[in-house]
Amino acid sequence: MLVAAGTAWENEVERLFAIQLQAQELSAYSSFGQLFDEICTTLGLNAAMEALNEGVPHRYSAVYRLVDGRMVNVAMADKQREPRPLFLAEVPLRSSFCQYVLRDGSFFTGDSGLDERLIGHPYQGVMMSYCGIPVFDLEGRAIGTACHFDVISHAIPEEKVGQLRAAARVLSAHLADHSAKPNTSS
């Protein structure tokens, strides 16, 4: 009985430690979310996406809104500071990796060329890395995605996925008032 009590106590300590770590992570993401919201409010969505893009290896960070079966770019950051390519302004949902985000609740691939989930997809091996999180409206309906992507393979640290999740929660409120017109300020 003493061994069982010791094991139960150790399990409880591990459980409490895990809860504490989760609380610290949530606090860190909450702080990031507050900062991201402040940037969205004061400097705009493009500036917020630039801030989000600074911490990841991916060339692009963007927010897309679902409009009539198309993913319409609302804001984008490009590490190379080039104008947004026309082919990224609007993408048919069926041709985008965003479809998997909206279907599955998230989608990550560090090397699309090797990702068996993408067999037959037109951008497999072209858009090599992608990390996407859904953006929901205030009623809980998926209205778009927040994502990082690149034509070069990249892994993404879990911490950066958490920041993208925090950004997606913030973007919900900002997209509610944002026009569905494509971003033209790239």
What pLDDT does residue 27 have?
Answer: 47
Nearest to 76 by CA among 60, 93, 97: 60
Residue 123 lies inside a defined structural domain of this protein: yes
Handedness of CA 48, 162, 70, 113 (dihedral sign): positive
Residue 88 lies inside a defined structural domain of this protein: yes
Give 10-residue mean pLDDT values along the chain (186 residues): 52 54 48 85 90 93 94 94 87 93 94 93 91 90 94 89 91 69 47
pTM above 0.95, yes or no: no
Residue 30 lies inside a defined structural domain of this protein: no
How many independent structural domains does the chain possess? 1
Residue 180 burial (10 A CB sphere; 0-12, 13-18, 19+)? middle
DSSP string covering 75-90: EEEETT-PPPPGGGTE
Q: 57 lies in which domain range?
A: 36-176
Residue 71 lies inside a defined structural domain of this protein: yes
CATH of the domain at 163: 3.30.450.40
Count of C-beta atoms within a 10 Å radius of residue 147? 28
Q: Give the pLDDT confidence of 64-116 residue by residue, as tens digits.
A: 999 999 999 999 999 999 888 888 889 999 999 999 999 999 999 999 999 99
- H helical segments located in 79-157: 98-104
Yes or no: say if 156 and 60 are a contact pair by the CB < 8 Å rule. no
Residue 28 lies inside a defined structural domain of this protein: no
Residue 13 lies inside a defined structural domain of this protein: no
- Cα–Cα–Cα angle for 121, 127, 132, rounded to 5 degrees: 90
Residue 2 lies inside a defined structural domain of this protein: no
Residue 27 lies inside a defined structural domain of this protein: no
Largest CA distance in the chain: 69
Helix (H) or strand (E) holding 47: helix 45-54
